[in-house]
Structure 1
Amino acid sequence: MAIVVDIDVMLAKRKMAVGTLAERVGITPANLSVLKNGRAKAVRFTTLSALCEVLECQPGDLLRWEPD
């Protein structure tokens, strides 16, 4: 996939656990894991917005494009 999800990077910068992020965003840890590991086919804007709010970042801090 050409879109890379950098949630791990932001979690490390914020010193936050995956479970904490999932709880604060309002999604299950399993769904966050799917997104975090690049296995998601889509992400809702409401989820992306919540991630950005909790992690205090921009969407571009979480998603980036890389050529295949």
Structure 2
Amino acid sequence: MPIAIKLDVMLATRKMKSKDLAQMIGITEQNLSLLKQGKVKGIRLATLEAICVALDCQPGDLLHFQPEP
């Protein structure tokens, strides 16, 4: 997938555990794990917004476009 999700980097920067973030934004730890691994086909804008609020970041801090060769 040409869009990389850098959620684990942002969690480390903010010194927050995945479990705590999942609880804050109201999704399961399993779904957050799938998101971190890039194994999801899409993300709801409301979920992205909640992550950005919880981590005090911008969507661009979490998503990176890597064109395929």
Give yes or no for TM over 0.5.
Answer: yes
Smaller-chain TM-score range? over 0.9
CA apart distance, 1:67? 1.4
CA displacement, residues 9-68 of structure 1 (integer Å, 9 cap, x when unaligned): 100000000000000011000000010000010000000000000000000000010012
Aligned length: 68
- Please give the alpha-carbon distance, in whole angstroms, between the structure 1 residues aligned to 2:51 and 2:40: 15
Are 2:4 and 1:4 equivalent residues in the alignment? yes
After TM superposition, which residue ranges in structure 1, 4 or more long, deviate above 3 angstroms? none
Map of 2:24 onto structure 1: 24
Instruction: Show structure 2 runs of 5+ residues with no match.
Output: none
Matches within 5 A, 1:57-68: 57-68=57-68
Instruction: Show structure 1 runs of 5+ residues with no match.
Output: none
Q: TM-score, normalised by structure 2?
A: 0.97
- Please give the alpha-carbon distance, in whole angstroms, between the structure 2 residues aligned to 1:45 and 1:38: 16
Q: Secondary structure at the match of 1:61?
A: helix
Which letter maps to 2:57? C
